[in-house]
Amino acid sequence: MAKVIVVTSGKGGVGKTTTSASVATGLAKRGYKTVVIDFDVGLRNLDLIMGCERRVVYDFVNVIHGEATLKQALIRDKRLANLDILPASQTRDKDALFKDGVEKVLNELRKTHDFIVCDSPAGIETGAVMALYFADEAIVVTNPEVSSVRDSDRILGILSAKSKRALDGDDPIKEHLLITRYDPNRVQTGEMLSIDDIMELLGIPLAGVIPESQSVLTASNSGIPVIHDEVSVSGLAYQDLVERLLGEEVPIRFITPVKKGLFKRLFGT
């Protein structure tokens, strides 16, 4: 059975697209046929993070409106043969997505793929609701910061009230908390909400902690999802996340403060 996983947050800029790219890549690396869909209509960015921006011809909205076939719009990842990207359109208005159209595309993808990862736009408007509506699982991306935690809580409310599973009375969407841009040193000095604080506030199981790390920027600069970077803490933390999503028990790493030596200060993490 194919699984639809939405990566959502409410708040903008917390790491949804970074996470979508790495989770999709990680699942494909593990051998699952995976597709990652950009729901951010008008603000396409997933293509850049996946490094396929120059190969975009047709997009998600074209497919929904019958202007292109799914096959024409899917972009095969250049590193992994079992990974596809469905880009968002750059021009159309937000109402370009509608439920029946999205459902048709998802149902078609369910036949050919094991995992469908949906990169949600920020906010709680149409685009975000479309991205989460058909989800089986949700990764709620949260930064250790007040407004992000509050917005994650609002998104959790929407997942449990307005999603298809909620409205149909099916089993609820399986929720995963992902804390990103975590800085153990600042947590230790009492300047940043801790993992326990956030878990207590949001009350959903923790699926991963991605530390604040410079390699995320390096990865996006070069269009290679950070999970490919096997020497960076964030790359490894994303690998752990993927394993947990697949049901494996993996301890959380990189959450204890590190003393920054001269070397690290000079060369970064």
The partner in contact with residue 10, picked from ligand ATP, Mg ion, other proteins, none with C-beta cut-offs of 5 to 8 angstroms by kind, is none
* 149 in contact with other proteins (CB under 8 A): yes
Min dist CB 127 to other proteins, Å, is 21
Look at the block and give the residue holding tokens 């230790």: 188
Residue that is written with structure tokens 């800029």 in the block: 13
Q: Which residues bind ligand ATP (CB under 6 A)?
A: 9, 12-18, 40, 121-122, 180-181, 210, 212-213, 216-217, 220, 234
Please name the amino acid found at residue 108.
Answer: E
Residues 238/227, Cβ–Cβ less than 8 Å:
yes
- Least separation in angstroms between residue 40's CB and ligand ATP is 6
- With H, G, I as helix, E, B as strand and everything else as coil, classify residue 114: coil
Structure tokens at 162: 């307005």
The CB-of-195 to other proteins minimum distance in angstroms stands at 12
- The item of Mg ion, other proteins, ligand ATP, none sharing an interface with residue 193, based on CB under 5 to 8 Å by kind, is other proteins
Matching residue, tokens 């159209």:
101
Residue 127 Cα distances to 40, 91, 96, 101, angstroms:
7, 14, 9, 13
Nearer to other proteins, 192 or 241 (CB): 192
Minimum distance from residue 28 beta carbon to ligand ATP (Å): 18
Is 157 a binding residue for other proteins by CB under 8 A? The answer is yes
Residue 181 CB, nearest approach to ligand ATP (Å): 5
Q: Which does 207 bind (CB under 5 to 8 A by kind): ligand ATP, Mg ion, other proteins, none?
A: none
Task: Name the one range near Mg ion by CB under 5 A: 12-20, 47-55, 124-132, 229-237.
Answer: 12-20
Contact characters 178-217, other proteins, x per CB under 8 A? ---------x-xxxxxx--x--xx----------------
Calpha distance 180→14 (Å, rounded): 7
> Cβ distance 43 to 72 under 8 Å?
no
DSSP string, 4-27: EEEEE-SSTTSSHHHHHHHHHHHH
Give the nearest distance from C-beta 14 to Mg ion in angstroms: 9
Beta strand residue intervals within the chain, DSSP E: 3-8, 34-38, 75-76, 83-86, 115-119, 137-142, 174-182, 206-211
State how far the Cα of 14 lies from the Cα of 217, in Å rounded to an integer: 13
CB closer to ligand ATP out of 70 and 193: 193
Tokens representing 41 are 């209509």
For residues 59 and 187, which CB has a smaller minimum distance to Mg ion in the complex?
A: 59
Contacts with Mg ion by CB under 5 A lie at 16-17
- Residue ranges that bind other proteins, judged by CB under 8 A: 145-146, 149-150, 153-154, 157, 161, 187, 189-194, 197, 200-201
